[in-house]
Amino acid sequence: MSRIGVLGGTFDPIHLGHLAAAKAALDCAHLDRVLFVPSGRPPHRPAALAPEADRLAMVRLATQDEPRFEVSDMEIKRGGLSYTADTVEELHRAHPEDELFLILGWDAARLFRTWHEPDHVASLASFVILGRPGTRPPTSSEIAALGLPPERLLECFGGTPDISGSALRGEIAAGRPVTGKVPAAIERYIAERHLYRDNR
- Each of the 200 residues of the chain gets a pLDDT tens digit; together they read 999 999 999 999 999 999 999 999 999 999 999 999 999 887 777 889 999 999 999 999 999 999 999 999 999 999 888 899 999 999 999 999 999 999 998 888 889 999 999 999 999 999 999 987 767 778 888 888 888 888 889 988 877 888 999 999 999 999 999 999 999 999 999 999 999 987 54
3-161: which CATH topology?
Answer: Rossmann fold (3.40.50)
β pairing state of 99-105 and 69-71: unpaired
Beta bridge partner(s), residue 4: 33, 100
For the chain, give every domain's residue range.
3-161
The CA-atom distances, in angstroms, between 126 and each of 85, 91, 93, 153 are: 13, 13, 16, 6
Determine the pLDDT at residue 32: 98
Q: Note the pLDDT of residue 47.
A: 83
pLDDT of residue 199: 57
